[in-house]
Structure 1
Amino acid sequence: MAGDNQKSSLRKDIDENLKRVYEDALKEEVPDRFKLLLEQLKAKESKK
């Protein structure tokens, strides 16, 4: 039973850390280079 509690606790810690990393990634600004590439792609698509 103690092993199950340790696994459960470990999974909870992993879940919390993954959520934290994901939320931090969502808050990051998109690099200007990517914005430029997206604009170029949109312009190319609109010409078709």
Structure 2
Amino acid sequence: MTSSMKDQGSGGPKSQTEPRPSKNLPGWTAGLRQLYDEVVEEDLPDSFRDLLSKLDDKDS
């Protein structure tokens, strides 16, 4: 497995900045941002990781 594949499942570096509240945004946007951030941080399923590995092997 390549190092880039290992990095893909980690969700990348966590942002140190909090979303800035805006008077123009409705209140539910903070909850949506939190849900999005949680999904982005999830690891890749093993089956998807295996598929990426097989595709990489075919390219080599």
TM-score by length of 2: 0.52
Gaps of 5+ in 2: 1-23
Identity %: 30
**Structure 1: distance between partners of 2:38 and 2:44:** 13
- Larger % of helix: which? 1
Gaps of 5+ in 1: 1-7
Number of equivalent positions: 37
Among candidates 36, 41, 50, match of residue 27 of structure 1 = 41
Kindly indicate whether structure 1 or structure 2 has the higher relative contact order, using CA contacts under 8 Å at least 6 residues apart.
Answer: 2
RMSD between aligned alpha carbons? 1.6
**Structure 1: distance between partners of 2:59 and 2:33:** 35
TM-score by length of 1: 0.63
Spell out structure 1 runs of 4+ moving beyond 6 A.
none
Deviation at 1:14?
Answer: 2.3
